Amino acid sequence: MYEKKRLGNRRFQKGASIAELVVVLPAMALLGLGSFEAVLAFRAKSLLNFASYEGVRSGSIRNANLADIQAAVARGLTPLYGASSSNTDIIQANLKAKIDIALPYTRIEILNPTRQAFADFGVVVKGMTQIPNDNLIARSTAIGATSRVNIQDANLLKIRVTYGYRLSTIVARFVTRLMSAIDPANSLYYSNGRIPMVAQAVMHMQSPAYQQGVMGTLPPSTPGGSGGGSTPPTPPSGGGGPGGGNPGDPPNPPVDVGPGNPDPSDSCSMPGWQDLINGSSSNPSSPGNMTPIPPSSESSKQRLGG
């Protein structure tokens, strides 16, 4: 009787493991794919941080030109569009990045300097409205009336990059539908299988910020140019203040050139390192023209203890 009951229980439990596998396997697959997607998203966010830094760095040396910032951000995001090291694949990946950045899923904003900062500190030079960038340490720290910042803070370039990262696994539809219900303001991204990522970067301007460049009305500068197709500002004459001196400062005092003070600007009066090595310097007191003096007999005897 007991044996029959035990055998009946076994027949009843047949197929239970298959049912458990059917229930657990989709959940395990979803968890694994979700973890893989999270790793890819973390990599994309790291590249976006790097791309935003490249963008603000390019803008700081190219007059805050938005076109140059966009090109630098595209270069920073190029590894997302290709993993090969050949030149052809790199060029194609960079072209894909530029095309993707041109879509409405990527937004690059210049948060500083603002229009109010240009209104407070902007000067017109050669038809370009710019915020002066020279001698900031010697300039006034007065707060602007409309921008509520001083000229030193107006020379900080701050950008914000919002990038729509495209999810690549089959969990994208589940994630985007969930995020659409949680964050309806970014439904444009979620409806196209993307999630918004935001990165910010700040850097001190190394060139005057052009209002036309900030507004995006200037073309990208040529490689090695000063930005916006403009000519770099000429350094001021005189040597009074820091950073090259202010215009109108008195010139540096002349150097006292005498018999014991050779003129530093005269390369012929200063013994070069090659002359010192070869012993052919024209200066009689240089080491190359010194004749070693043989030790006297008395000093030799003293050293030998004689």
Indicate whether 141 belongs to any domain.
yes
pLDDT given for residue 55 in this prediction: 96
Helix, coil or strand: residue 110 = strand
**Helix or strand (DSSP H, E) at 109:** strand 106-112
Looking at residues 34-61, what average pLDDT do you find? 93
Looking at residues 37-47, what average pLDDT do you find? 92
Indicate whether 298 belongs to any domain.
no
Confidence of residue 10 (pLDDT cuts 50, 70, 90): low
Helix, coil or strand: residue 229 = coil
Tally of structural domains, the chain? 1
How far apart, in whole angstroms, are the C-alpha atoms of residue 161 and residue 105? 11
How far apart, in whole angstroms, are the C-alpha atoms of residue 124 and residue 127? 6
- Looking at the chain, the whole-number percentage of residues with pLDDT higher than 70 is 67
Looking at residues 122-129, what average pLDDT do you find? 92
Q: Which of 64, 198, 178, 194 has the alpha carbon at shortest distance from 131? A: 64
Indicate whether 195 belongs to any domain.
yes
| Lowest-pLDDT range of 34-43, 109-118, 221-230 | 221-230
Beta strands at 209-210 and 128-131: parallel, antiparallel or unpaired: antiparallel
Q: Are 201 and 156 in contact (CB under 8 A)?
A: no
* pLDDT tens-digit series, residues 58-95: 999 999 999 999 999 999 999 999 877 888 999 999 99
How far apart, in whole angstroms, are the C-alpha atoms of residue 15 and residue 13? 6
Domain hosting residue 143, numbered range: 24-220
Indicate whether 98 belongs to any domain.
yes
For the cut 70, the answer to whether the pLDDT of residue 210 exceeds it is yes
Indicate whether 67 belongs to any domain.
yes
In degrees and rounded to multiples of 5, residue 203 shows phi and psi of -155, 150
pLDDT given for residue 226 in this prediction: 43
For the cut 60, the answer to whether the pLDDT of residue 101 exceeds it is yes
pTM of this structure: 0.65
Indicate whether 97 belongs to any domain.
yes
Residue 257 or residue 1, greater confidence: 1
First to last CA, the chain: 124
| Alpha carbon 209 to chain centroid, angstroms | 17
Exposed/middle/buried for residue 273 (C-beta within 10 Å: 0-12, 13-18, 19+): exposed
Indicate whether 59 belongs to any domain.
yes
Indicate whether 167 belongs to any domain.
yes
* pLDDT tens-digit series, residues 279-299: 444 444 444 444 444 445 454
